Amino acid sequence: MYLKLVLLLACLGLARTVEQVRYDNYKLYQVQINHLQDAQLLHDNEQVLKLDTWREARNLGEFSDIMLPPQYQEVFESLLNRHNVSYNLRFDNVQRLIDEQRPKQRTSSMEWTQYHTLDEIYAWLDQIEKLYSHLVTPFTIGKSYEGRPIRGIKISYKPGNSAVFIESNIHAREWITSATITYFIEELLVPRNPAIRDIAQSMDWYIIPVLNTDGFVYSHEVDRFWRKSRLPSDPTGKCIGTDLNRNFNYRWMQIGASADPCMDTFAGPYAESDPEISQLTSYINSSIPEGSIKIYISLHSYGQYVLSPWGHTAEEFPEHYPQMMAVAKGFADALHRRNGTVFTYGSSPTLRSYVTGAGKEWAYAVKNIIIPYTIELPDKGQYGFALPPEYIIPVSRELTDGFVGMIQAAREIHVL
């Protein structure tokens, strides 16, 4: 209904043109957090100086990645210098990074040398559903707030397999996630070596390439660094969107989430408030045989982590934490062998940050899926969310290696 209304208004010339957000002369800083007061300094000035924190340091000695508009940069640098806080300038013009990501000549075919739009990804899904109809079963969990279908596929070579469930691009700006998972789909359908053929044939794979369809389209058409959904968050209409990875119905809004609709980690007005999450959980509950999903993956970027429950505490660990770590090690070790890329694994608070209402927490606590992860893809801050498209294929090949190692490790400890 929403899209029909927009189309009608467009035809009448009444639709409001949305101006594309630009980041000309925005700077990306890496700020070293050597003391607790350094972190507090950033927190105290976050709203005043419009700090956009891409990644927050978890431990002393680590870096926080912060983007800043031009009008606040001189004050920010003076503040850091005055308090003897070390920092590096990663990029002096973020818009240049964005422009370099957009190809001079687009190709609609999927070849993993550019970041594709939702329409292009869906056109490719149409193609593989026809080409590999004996292996691929398409499904739609429902529609987004703006009326877009949220599509996925099930890849199955034979009945009776255990399953892996993967949701990707729950955060709109993390384009590398849908790029790599579509590459992995291609690998499952046309295995290039025996190890990939083995995991393709021995497991069922449920994959949603773009869960946050509205936000993803918005990040392509309007604001490259948009994170949330597009559901209006407050009555004034000033703040839009929910952090969908804080909207699951397990320990919702307890810690690591915001009640402020203007914040990037806003968890929504209530658990499963957004149709993307309520329909995802409903699909898993009603359309997938109970107990068949053995591994749940929420694919994100960036940081090179494999993060497990619990997200609400760093002092307690789930019953199956040893199994989670064994399988995460299998993933990280297999991936490392190709290019030497290092992934760190552990629970969210011990490595990254506290989080509740996340997909992996719900998968473990509610659905009893004993191997649930948030996987944060590369890099470690060199480009952050603006990872250039030439990294798509190398990261995709590493992820494929990692999934092979993950399944092999899960077998070794009899999870599968």
376 is catalytic: yes
Pairing of strands 162-168, 293-301: parallel
Q: Between the CA atoms of 131, 394, 302 and 384, what dihedral angle is there, to the nearest 10 degrees?
A: -120
CA distance 258 to 357: 11
Q: Which two tokens stand for residue 389?
A: 């498209």
Residues facing residue 375 across a β-bridge: 299, 306
CB proximity list for 75: less than 8 A, separation 6 or greater: 49
367 with 291: CB under 8 angstroms? no
280 with 170: CB under 8 angstroms? no
CA distance 293 to 203: 10
Helix (H) or strand (E) holding 30: strand 27-32
> What three-state secondary structure class fits 87?
strand
Helices (H), 243-320: 275-287
CB proximity list for 354: less than 8 A, separation 6 or greater: 255, 256, 311, 312, 313, 314, 348
Pairing of strands 371-377, 305-308: antiparallel
Q: Which two tokens stand for residue 18?
A: 């949305």
The separation between the first and the last C-alpha atoms of the chain, rounded to the nearest angstrom, is 44
124 with 114: CB under 8 angstroms? no
Per-position DSSP letters for 191-252, written without gaps between them: --SHHHHHHHHHEEEEEES-S-HHHHHHHHHT-TT--S--SB-STTSSSB---GGG-SSSST
> Residues 376, 390, 398, 412: which is the catalytic one?
376
- How many residues appear in the chain? 416
Using the 8-state DSSP alphabet, how is residue 231 labeled?
S
CA distance 186 to 189: 5
Positions annotated as catalytic residues are 376
